[in-house]
Structure 1
Amino acid sequence: MTLGRLGDLGSEIPVLHHDGRVYDLRPLTADIDGAFLASGGVAAAVSARSAGKLTELADASSLRVGAPVAAPGKIVCIGLNYRDHAEETGATLPSEPVVFMKDPGTIVGPHDDVLIPRKSTKTDWEVELGVVIGRTARYLDSPEQADEVIAGYVLSHDVSEREFQLERGGQWDKGKSCETFNPLGPHLIAASDVADPQALGLRLWVNGELRQNGSTANMIFGVRYVIWYLSQFMVLRPGDLINTGTPAGVALGLEGTPYLRDGDVVELEIDGLGRARQRMVQA
């Protein structure tokens, strides 16, 4: 099941992609959000399409691609969660997941511009596997129980300003929550359609040069463990986004590699989740 949202920012249309066709989901829901996911919306969309109750969106190809999930209550991120990334930055491998929050207002579409913050000198890239929660999770009994609360997976770009993050008081949120710093999508792929979230390739290019080429198999803490772990400290609610970390190849870990500047183009992809492209623009 492939879900998405098309249209101008703030007025996106919820859609279902199937066999090269795009179906309008507005007869079922006003948006793809936590309420839709919690109410069994994914299964309802499948049933409606199979029953011929959905119509195609005729002008789909001409519409802007929005983030596939609307307004998550929170974005929770896991830092230093790939062995090769921790090693390239000189960090000790964590014994427990490194957790920080990111402003949900940072989410934009997968092809929207990303704003380089004023006074930024170290805006960095990070391709990540995003996990979207579909059912409320609190105090899960085991990592295996995480399968019951995951709605799907999405390509996420956890853009980071390293000076703000590491040199301005030690608060990671400052370097993660700048405007437009979380392009998302293009698609939300149902969890049932991802055979193994720990066997996905992730890649990112800057101006056509491959910078990151990793696999979720290299995670220190796997997706299921992360969801279980987080549920011991906070309530995860439908629509919440979990960014699960990035592999090696970020500017922070590559000596002499320039950080992002006005006019740079970043392209990224994850196996089976689609591809995105963003242009960097000075704020």
Structure 2
Amino acid sequence: MELDIWQGDWGLPSVDLICLQVMAYAKFSGAPLKVKKTNWPLSRYGHLPVFRHGKKNTLTTFDNIVSYLQRQNYSADAELTPKQCADIIAYTALLRDKLYPALLYVWWVEDKNYCELTRPWYAKALSFPLNYFLPGHQQRAARKNINNLWSCDLIDESQKETSIYKDARECLNLLSYRLGDNEYFFGKNPCSLDAIVFGFLAPLLKAPFPNPALKNHLKSCVNLSHFVQRILDRFFPLSPEELEALRKKEAQEAEEKSEFPHKWRDIILSVLFAGAVMLGYAVTNIKVKYPEDHDDYLYDDDQEYYDEQEEDSKK
């Protein structure tokens, strides 16, 4: 069994939510899945992940992959009751209706996040020529997906953003209430709902968004944050080399962030100093030019004045 996925970052095995969901479910069910980080979504399916088992079985959606694994006797839901299985369906629909649009907005539509995080990350991860057009294509698709949620064109962007974030926060609060103090949603063993929730929440929690409004709300739901970290620690532990690389990257990002204001200060001071030098140079090199016969002109005026005075005295 093979799975082509987007690569990971920020301590995640993958940055893509569906890839994370499939990987988590395979871990929970014990499926022997070989993961391949390709970052190449230009198969005939047009996206990642792509699941393969033999020459005839190729699947691309979470639901189809889970159904196939269950037919192969790899199930994470075998011990659940019919009511719990029905709850999984209900919560999955809630997540896809209320939280997924917010994730699209945070990753692809919010300008600051897209320009400073999403586009640079995918441009670096993708190969030529995908790095030039795929981020823009994904952004347009996300905008279209979000706009389809409203039938009225009179709703402006700020109203859409407010509504999207409101629904997402309510969804996170409901998940937090449902999880409570439990390790997983239906007891001590993870199931498909845990895999689905993990895929939705992990990138939101770990990615360094410049505009972290929704991320901060997730972090305030402490049990959900612990839920994500628990799955990462137990099922996707980082190797010592990966831990060291992550530590160095976080230290570098923190250093760049702390130096950013000072860099701008130095740039501004340099510009001001250069301007002052140029202005001083210009002032010291200004030449005031007088009329060539200036002295003669003054002398003639004086002579004319004395002549008039002498003629008046004679009179």
User: Same-fold call, TM > 0.5?
Assistant: no
TM-score (norm 1): 0.26
Write 1 or 2 for the structure with the bigger share of helix.
2
Q: Compute the TM-score of the two structures, normalised by the length of structure 2.
A: 0.24
